Copies of this chain bind each other. A is one copy, B any other.
């Protein structure tokens, strides 16, 4: 039996107010962040869970989450997608990568603080030594050799691997290119 969790859409975030639902969702794939707890240890926290919209969209699509406006009205999948498309540049491309990685069992978290789209873990934050830093590009996006070096260098400096994800939206497939940088 899969328990469907309820979440509230608050501005551009989703809040799970029920503490046991929050713990269950965070404990089953590190979705969201417990409010006010920057480095949660396990699921033994007493705080609501805050999800990013992209996480919410994925969970609604997977029927693990039902989403409601503040006034109690349910948010349809189509409505969430419209909201996501306003909040994320190139949402469809980014979502395809998020979904592709999540469906394969990776832990996909927002990469903003690393200057990329997603920080991806095999086991989870605090368990893996370091995340992979994933940046989503469209096939036609330009990048310079310097850009590639900077990205590779940045990731290497912080002992993380930088990965370029280029989604093929029509085929629902993603090309991944991993980078290692060194100077000699």
List residues of A whose CB falls within 8 A of some B CB: 100, 104, 137-146, 148-149, 152-153, 164, 166, 173-184
CB distance from A161 to the nearest CB of B (A): 9
Known: A144-B141, A179-B178. A149 touches B166 (CB 8 A): yes
Query: Which of B137, B143, B152, B176 interacts with A183 by CB under 8 Å?
Result: B176
CB distance from A174 to the nearest CB of B (A): 6
Bound: A184/B97 CA distance, A: 9
Query: Which of B100, B179, B180 interacts with A184 by CB under 8 Å?
Result: B100
Known: A145-B164, A149-B166. A184 touches B178 (CB 8 A): no
Asked whether, in the complex, the Cβ of B176 is within 8 Å of the Cβ of A184, the reply is: yes
